[in-house]
Amino acid sequence: MTLELSHLHRRYAGFAALDDVSLCIEPGEFLALLGPSGSGKTTLLRILAGLDYPDSGSVRQNDRDLLAVDARERKVGLVFQHYALFRHLTVSENVAFGLRIRPRKSRPGRAEINERVERLLKRVQLDDLGKRYTSQLSGGQRQRVALARALAVEPDLLLLDEPFGALDAQVRVALRRWLRNLHEELGLTSVFVTHDQEEALELADRVAVMNRGRIEQIGTPEAIYQQPATPFVCEFIGKNNRIPLQRANGVLTGGQRQLGADPWPGNAVGSAIGYVRPEHLLVSSTPSTDGWAAQLRHIYLAGGVAHLELDVPALGQVLEADMSSDEVAQRGLQPGQSLVVQPRLITAFPLDARGAADAAARHVLQPQAAS
């Protein structure tokens, strides 16, 4: 079941919730829609579910116009952030609800419904809780009930709208890995809405990063993280140090250090913006003219990773570098220490006269590091 979304537009009172969105979802794919609040993720999900319709554009499922199909006939399972379970029904009754309200001609018999509910509860590891009410369950258990209810109708497409947003961090990690295993076991086509980049990068086969109703970039989690295509993706995915760059006489510089040849020939003078991930900053205690002089302001230990806060006078800003906690201890790094910091990978974009970045001219720099 291939889904083809073409040139979708949706406006609410003059606000563009979707602005020319095109996307292809392959059978069996786990796709994450990732972006901040208001980026259009849930609007896109609601259109797939049949709960909303675009002002223009098309959604096709193989050769079928999905927009012309009633929501009840689309074979879509939908899981919400806040469960949307019925408090007056037991766990088993909640799971069976979607089957029991079907039209008589397509409604399974009572024995078949009971058998399907038992099978699903066992699959989501709740087979001993079928007679309980949802108020007697934990948050993680309620979300698994909601998922079992969505699966009961045997959907072709599973839609999940921030399904772990109401859960604590430890439960979220366990449940999302369980969901990924379930997705692979059932061979479902799944679309997952989240604003949590860690969830998207860990769960999805592909990630569509959305911003202001448009898709900024779509690709594998590795490509999204390692090869961000726009300044927004650079700033939204993972951590980045934002560094002002200057272009003059065919040379690109930052903080009075030459970083390489200007990759955008044409204008003799100009500006650019560079993004350097904390793990792409090399930190040395050996004096060198190849990097920026820095002072170590603080060390934030986070388990096996240490985040180093570095004051860099040449840039007039503070940078963050990451290294292992073991390496920090071995090197005896201490706040107040003088260091040298060097970028080994920079994603750069030229700026126009208004200071706007040209994403189409993205360039990756690999400055020569000192030996």
In a domain, 370, yes or no: no
Residues 220 and 325 in one domain: no
Which of these three, 209, 234, 259, is where a domain ends?
Answer: 234
Residues 340 and 278 in one domain: yes
- pTM (2 d.p.): 0.87
**Pair of tokens at residue 339:** 């260091």
Residues 173 and 269 in one domain: no
Residues 270 and 314 in one domain: yes
178-195 burial code (b ≥16 CB/10 A, e <16): ebbebbeeeebbbbbbbb
Confidence of residue 179 (pLDDT cuts 50, 70, 90): confident
Task: List the alpha helices (DSSP H) in 103-168.
Answer: 110-123, 139-152
- Which of 75-79, 80-84, 214-218 is predicted with the least confidence, judged by mean pLDDT? 80-84
CA distance 218 to 229: 9
Q: Would you mind telling me the total number of residues written for the chain in this entry?
A: 371
pLDDT (tens digit, 9 = 90+) per residue, 298-328? 999 999 999 999 999 999 999 999 999 999 9
Which of these, 300, 325, 320, lies nearest to 309 by C-alpha position? 320
Residues 76 and 111 in one domain: yes
Residues 189 and 254 in one domain: no
The Cα-based distances of 320 to 103, 244, 264, 346 in angstroms read 59, 15, 28, 14
Which of these three, 216, 234, 252, is where a domain ends?
Answer: 234
What's CA 291's distance to the chain center, in Å? 33
Which of these three, 234, 257, 282, is where a domain ends?
Answer: 234
In a domain, 318, yes or no: yes
User: Residue 370: its pLDDT value, please?
Assistant: 45
Q: Count of domains in the chain?
A: 2
**CATH assignment at residue 58:** 3.40.50.300
Q: Can you give the residue range of the structural domain that contains 214? A: 3-234
pLDDT (tens digit, 9 = 90+) per residue, 276-294? 999 999 999 887 778 899 9
Which of these, 179, 138, 147, lies nearest to 30 by C-alpha position? 179
Residues 70 and 187 in one domain: yes
In a domain, 159, yes or no: yes
**CATH assignment at residue 329:** 2.40.50.100
State yes or no: pLDDT of 371 exceeds 50: no
Read off the pLDDT of each residue in 222-231 and give the average, rounded to a whole number.
95
Q: CB neighbours (10 Å) of residue 156? A: 15
